[in-house]
Structure 1
Amino acid sequence: MSFGFLGIQFGFALQNGNASRILQSFGADVEHLSLFWLAAPITGMIVQPIIGHYSDRTWNRLGRRKPYFLTGGILSALALLFMPNSAMLMFLPPVMVGAGILMIMDASFNVAMEPFRALIGDNLPDNQRSLGFSIQTFLIGLGAVTGSVLPWLISYFMGTKAAAPGHVQPNVIYSFYVGAAVMIICLLWTVLRTKEYSPTEYAQFHPEEAEAEQSNGLGEIIKDFKRMPMAMRQLGLVQFFSWFALFSMWVFASPAIATHVFHVDLKDTTSVNAAKAGDWVTLMFGVYNGISALYALCLPAIARATSRKLAHSFSLIAGGIGLISIFFIQNQYMLIISMAGIGLAWASILAMPYAILSGSIPAKKMGVYMGIFNFFITFPQIINGFFGGWIVKNLFGGQAIYALVLAGIFMLCAAVSVIYVQDGKDIKYQKIK
């Protein structure tokens, strides 16, 4: 069911690890990077609830969820092909072309991702969902590892080359080409090999929800938003702190590590040393994703031995410590320790909130509520996007490393806020008065 998600995350990892360096190559300043990254949460906030709503009501020859993640995957693959080549459109500023393609890529990733999560909720009973989301997280990690290390791996065998001013390093371009191909292959595997239940079969598994609701589009989404389960509201605070921290890491890790660990000048985006720093950052992203994939296999057992809340809180603490520790590191290899903590947090963020949430929402609303839940992911990123660059420029003196320290503090706040989440199948679906 989740093999296609491996391909999506392969491409997503390439974007996360390389978008900032690509935009800097095209002329973007560090303090403006977070504004360019706003494309991701804004499109996610708009696209995911809509996709979730309509995928709940889609039944055709391909299935219920498959038409959406297949379409999103194809569009994402095309964006991967075009983004590192934005400079080819000479009549437009490359940084604006790159930002536009980044927005298209993010919208496409959002179209593809939400139905994959809903597919787990559709096909698995509640007592198997922690395992299901953890396996999905393992495949996410596996795809993210390979996508993250690919630029470094290509440069290792082909040599690190300086890029011409205004252009992207060749190893990054080749990596994006490979990512597009892997994404399509993995998606086709899931589409061809996964069975989705027909409406009749689905009604047999969920007889209490056999009566289909009438849909009126946006009005129905707003109605569902107002009556979201209490557990979903409580998870919102946890998600706010978690995703504010993650957004800071994705946006500022490249310039922070390049200047703080590799001692590269902030304006240097084309030298061999700058390329090595960028490749090392993507490799470190691969490390945290690899640890995330392995830790995801342990999460169900940890959650059973303790609780889902305790497992999630512990993981977030590890992530917060990992982010803060980067400030104290000068040796590039010591970053592996920091990334280990971040990997624990990333695995749990991708699994535990969804496992808690899926047990508290009605099955026929799985898609729309998974989409609405994305609001609690996108909103903190939008806040960070508008203010993160200003904070780095005006409060941190342009030193991106302090953005990672702030991210660690937010991750620790997320760990504390887990305490207030109710986790249990007894949480009632709230009615509108």
Structure 2
Amino acid sequence: MAHGEVELSVGVGGGGGGAGGAMEAPVRISIGRLVLAGMVAGGVQYGWALQLSLLTPYVQTLGLSHALTSFMWLCGPIAGLVVQPCVGLYSDKCTSRWGRRRPFILTGCVLICLAVVIVGFSADIGAALGDSKEECSLYHGPRWHAAIVYVLGFWLLDFSNNTVQGPARALMADLSGQHGPSAANSIFCSWMALGNILGYSSGSTNNWHKWFPFLRTRACCEACANLKGAFLVAVLFLSFCLAITLVFAKEVPYKAIAPLPTKANGQVEVEPTGPLAVFKGFKNLPAGMPSVLLVTGLTWLSWFPFILYDTDWMGREIYHGDPKGNPNEVTAFNDGVRAGAFGLLLNSIVLGFSSFLIEPLCKRLGPRVVWVSSNILVCIAMAATCIISWWSMKDFHGYVQHAITASKDIKAVCLVLFAFLGVPLAILYSVPFAVTAQLAANKGGGQGLCTGVLNIAIVIPQVIIAVGAGPWDELFGKGNIPAFGVASGFALIGGIAGVFLLPKISRRQFRAVSTGGH
């Protein structure tokens, strides 16, 4: 997911959506073929990891201020709210001879490749459209043509990612066969973890401009050339993963057989699609679901500032760089961004191992205790980022660019913090969805719709942070400390709310939903 990527799975899965339909019984699939069928998740997540680690710092070199960069990330929540439900419902009813999911996966991956090229070459495109012709190492002013091209490519990239994510996960459920959806989901998440590890490793590398010197141009200096090289490799890797998935995911074409529903007067009843189906589901929520939505929203309010600014924080507060400063400050900022990408690599490794422990913990302690504990851990971690930043700057009132150089001890502590956050992140990616599944099972169904409504509680906090974090930080000195401080407060509030509001799900009930025995 993405981390990244929060998935809205409305109507996707084994059924036919609301249209009614049938598929021939699928052939039994080997576990090896099922693994290869999910490989596209790794390719998509590779590019998403690069996007998270490199793009917030990079866009500031094109002229957008630190405060404005947060607005750029509004496309993620918007895409999650609009694109995924529509694509999910349309793929449910797709009658293509290539299958229900693969046409959407192919289209989305092609658009991802196009968007990645636009983002990577935005500086060169901007120069061709009229930006400054000065050497990029000497000119640090705004490059508005490049910034506009970049933002358009960035939005296309986010919408394309969301086009692939829903059908790709639904494809794994469709093909799971005798192995079951739990095994399919584990395989999918494993590919995502591998994509994260490879992507963050690529983002932390400073040698792309050396390996491919032709990528460096007058408009594109070392940091830009490194970004360009990493993204071109992402295109090749995604293309390879896509080809493997298309070959090994042999879908059985879907055939609609049921008549369309009609009203009493004989007119065809038009079913709501896309976001309308999600909003209509609010009136049918199971008991306890409003509390889950509230705690989920508070939890994401505590997480998204770090997701948005983690590598920028390393470049500014820890390495004391400035993407628009003198050459030494630019170099320091880029070093910090790469260190942050390495921290995210450690985070992904810990997340991968931790994900195997979440289900046993929930069975032993109960999901409410595990969820509340993760919020407390995030509260401590976000407060720690503020303390570490102050420690690094050595001045309560100083601006980031005026701080003295941080020690190696501080940098090491930051990497430990990145790794530590992999544990609560694993909880965030699993427990809220497990609780939602149990509540839906208690009601007798509607799990997909409940998950779709849960996604709204995830994307709305992202919009709030994307709109407010930049101006909030600008008000207090153009750094990231204020947003992280507010994140710590939201984590604490979310933990307290979870203690009193989250529905109590017994360990026996959680064991039942985990194994599919509703």
| Structure 1 and Structure 2 fold alike (TM over 0.5) | yes
Greater RCO, 1 or 2 (C-alpha within 8 Å, sep 6+)? 1
Paired position in structure 1 for 2:495: 415
Correspondence 1:149-160 to 2 at 5 A: 149-155=201-207, 158=210
Decide whether aligned partners of structure 1 residues 220 and 151 sit closer, same or farther in structure 2, where only a CA change above 3 A counts: closer
For the residues of structure 2 that align with 1:59 and 1:373, how far apart are their CA atoms?
Answer: 29
Q: Residue 171 of structure 1: which of 212, 226, 233 is its match?
A: 226
Range that drifts further, 87-96 or 291-300: 87-96
**What residue identity is the alignment partner of 2:368?**
K
Which protein is bigger by CA-based radius of gyration? Answer: 2
**What residue identity is the alignment partner of 1:392?**
D
Paired position in structure 2 for 1:191: 246
Answer yes or no: is the 8 Å Cα contact 2:96–2:254 preserved in 1: no
Q: Residue 145 of structure 2: which of 76, 81, 93 is its match?
A: 93
**What residue identity is the alignment partner of 2:308?**
V
Aligned-residue offset at 1:295? 0.8
For the residues of structure 2 that align with 1:378 and 1:348, how far apart are their CA atoms?
Answer: 18
Q: Deviations over 1:38-87 (max 9, x none)?
A: 12112222212222332333343333333333322221222112202112
Answer yes or no: is the 8 Å Cα contact 1:53–1:371 preserved in 2: no
Q: Residue 78 of structure 1: which of 107, 114, 124 is its match?
A: 114
Aligned-residue offset at 1:237? 1.9
Aligned-residue offset at 1:14? 0.6
Decide whether aligned partners of structure 1 residues 248 and 132 sit closer, same or farther in structure 2, where only a CA change above 3 A counts: same
Aligned-residue offset at 1:326? 2.1
Q: Deviations over 1:171-190 (max 9, x none)?
A: 22111111122223223333
For the residues of structure 1 that align with 2:371 and 2:68, how far apart are their CA atoms?
Answer: 33
For the residues of structure 2 that align with 1:317 and 1:135, how far apart are their CA atoms?
Answer: 29
Could you list the runs of 5+ residues in structure 2 that have no partner in the other structure?
1-36, 130-143, 259-268, 393-409, 514-518
Query: C-alpha root-mean-square deviation of aligned residues, in Å?
Result: 3.6
Q: Residue 460 of structure 2: which of 370, 374, 379 is its match?
A: 379
Paired position in structure 2 for 1:353: 432
Could you list the runs of 5+ residues in structure 1 that have no partner in the other structure?
204-212, 428-433
Range that drifts further, 350-359 or 216-225: 216-225
Q: Residue 242 of structure 1: which of 299, 311, 319 is its match?
A: 299
Aligned-residue offset at 1:11? 0.8
Query: Tell me, what secondary structure is at the counterpart of 2:205?
Result: helix
Answer yes or no: is the 8 Å Cα contact 2:68–2:470 preserved in 1: yes
Aligned-residue offset at 1:321? 2.3
Paired position in structure 2 for 1:286: 345
**What residue identity is the alignment partner of 2:57?**
R
Correspondence 1:332-371 to 2 at 5 A: 332-361=411-440, 369-371=450-452
TM-score, normalisation: structure 1: 0.83
Range that drifts further, 190-199 or 324-333: 190-199
Paired position in structure 1 for 2:284: 227
Q: Deviations over 1:207-244 (max 9, x none)?
A: xxxxxx97343554442343233454333223212322
**What residue identity is the alignment partner of 2:120?**
P
For the residues of structure 2 that align with 1:231 and 1:111, how far apart are their CA atoms?
Answer: 31
Answer yes or no: is the 8 Å Cα contact 1:84–1:176 preserved in 2: yes
1:112 aligns with 2:164: yes
TM-score, normalisation: structure 2: 0.71
Range that drifts further, 174-183 or 43-52: 43-52
Answer yes or no: is the 8 Å Cα contact 1:53–1:368 preserved in 2: no
Decide whether aligned partners of structure 1 residues 51 and 68 sit closer, same or farther in structure 2, where only a CA change above 3 A counts: same
For the residues of structure 1 that align with 2:341 and 2:460, how far apart are their CA atoms?
Answer: 26
Aligned residues: 416
1:295 aligns with 2:354: yes
**What residue identity is the alignment partner of 2:197?**
V
Aligned-residue offset at 1:360? 4.2
Paired position in structure 2 for 1:64: 100
For the residues of structure 2 that align with 1:376 and 1:124, how far apart are their CA atoms?
Answer: 29
Range that drifts further, 250-259 or 279-288: 250-259
Paired position in structure 1 for 2:374: 315
For the residues of structure 2 that align with 1:375 and 1:308, how far apart are their CA atoms?
Answer: 21
